[in-house]
Amino acid sequence: MVDQDLRSTALEAVHRSLGATFTDFAGWQMPVRYDSDLAEHRAVRESAGIFDLSHMGEIHLRGPRAGEALDHALAGKLSAMSVGRAKYSLLLTEDGGVIDDVITYRLAQDHFLVVANASNAEVDSHELTERAKGFDVEVDDASDRTSLIAVQGPASEQILLDALLGADGGVEGITAEDLTSMRNYRFAAGSYRGHELLIARTGYTGEDGFELYVSDELAAALWEQLSAAGGDRLTPCGLACRDTLRLEAGMPLYGNELGRDIFPAQTGMERVVALSSKGDFVGRAGIEAADLSDRPVLVGLVADGRRAARAGAQVRDGEGREVGAIASGALSPTLGHPIAMAFVRTDVAEPGTELIADVRGKDLPVRVVELPFYRRG
């Protein structure tokens, strides 16, 4: 049964035809899996998976001062980014906490695209609109007319070449060389069947891969074309395996490792904040004034066996004293043992430190390790 209160992407009919199981994610009806979480996870690590990420937000800023507006609005220095590049950044509160983590693409000298997490898309759009006031820039929230399809995994480049860049691929303005020479956090812009298409070498899985932005009306055609060309190399993947993939790669999830009450330095993201390379921006004063001496920091935890600590579980030291809490945890499909990211006191954050995590009332010995847990070879 369809929940009438949930929003659907332009690909919902495709997902239903594939037998997807759905979940409510940030007010959207999204496929959580099609068959097996484990099989989908392994497909991305070993070949390729295709994801519908159309619940994400796409916010355009156009105008001669668009770069300056984003320098003011975000923690990074976006005005220094070249056309054709993308940059990870943070949208901060006045106090220095994290409203959202975003990726910004520079489409032209006076045109940027900010991609927001689904749970924060409307908030981000409002914040960017407010922060752009006083600059010569137009903010256009295109989330309701844009679909986002990700193809992730070691076979992703060849699948895109086979699907889109042949004589009948329907893509213009993007060549095979554009794709094969594209580095991480770069993109190419062209058209697909007469409509704008953006192909970026970005992703949230820890694997090589691409994210494709296209109009809603062509999303199903693009998905089917990629799937047909991918064949057995390409597996439809839901949000469940996307979560275990990003956890293995040590990538933060808003609401778990990021939030309004969490400063970037607590998660090791102080490098994302351009304190030395630009002037004032929203959140700068809050970060500079913050006392982080008693704030917990994010670490990786590993354990033996098959039981995994879940988000919210308590972490204790050897004396039984509470020293932190799990932010995200799972049994790693790739590594075969439990992993977690947790916020813990700085005095127990050194790699090699032995701690205890609570797993449904039972003690699980864990060890602090450096992030990420997994790096592609």
Cβ neighbours around 36 below 10 Å, total? 13
Tokens read off for 287: 């970060």
Mean pLDDT estimate for the chain: 97
What CATH architecture does domain 1-289 belong to?
2-Layer Sandwich (3.30)
User: CA geometry: angle at 167 spanning 165 and 169, to 5°?
Assistant: 50
- Average pLDDT of the segment spanning 367-376: 97
Q: Domain ranges in the chain?
A: 1-289, 296-377
b/e 19-29 (16+ beta carbons within 10 angstroms → b): ebebeebbebb
pLDDT at 342 over 50: yes
DSSP string, 137-160: -EEEE-GGGEEEEEEESTTHHHHH
pLDDT band at residue 285 under the 50/70/90 scheme:
very high
Q: Count Cβ neighbours within 10 Å for each residue of 3-16 and write b for 16 or more, e otherwise.
A: eeebbbbbbbebbe
At the top level of CATH, the class of 296-377 is mainly beta
pLDDT of residue 96: 98
Q: Does residue 180 carry a pLDDT above 80?
A: yes
pLDDT surpasses 80 at 298: yes
Per-residue confidence (pLDDT) for residue 1, from 0 to 100 = 47
pLDDT tens profile 201-244: 999 999 999 999 999 999 999 999 999 999 999 999 999 999 99
> What is the pLDDT at residue 167?
83
Proportion of the chain above pLDDT 90, given as a percent: 98
What does the alpha-carbon distance between residue 264 and residue 259 come to, in Å, rounded to a whole number? 9
| Distance (Å, whole) CA 375 – CA 352 | 19
Mean pLDDT of the 298-308 span: 97
* φ, ψ dihedrals at 101, nearest 5°: -105, 135
242: which residues sit within 8 A by CB, 6+ positions away?
51, 204, 205
Q: Round to the nearest angstrom and report the end-to-end CA distance of the chain.
A: 42
Residue 178: count of CB within 10 angstroms of its CB: 17
Tell me the per-residue pLDDT of 19-47, one tens digit each, with 9 for 90 and over. 999 999 999 999 999 999 999 999 999 99
**If pLDDT is split at 50, 70 and 90, which confidence band does 5 have?**
confident
Taking phi over 0 as left and psi of -120 to 50 as alpha, with beta for the rest, 134 belongs to: left
**What's the whole-number mean pLDDT along residues 110-121?**
97
The pLDDT value recorded for residue 218 is: 98
Mean pLDDT within 142-160? 98
Q: Give me the pLDDT at residue 2, please.
A: 52
Stated pTM of the model: 0.96
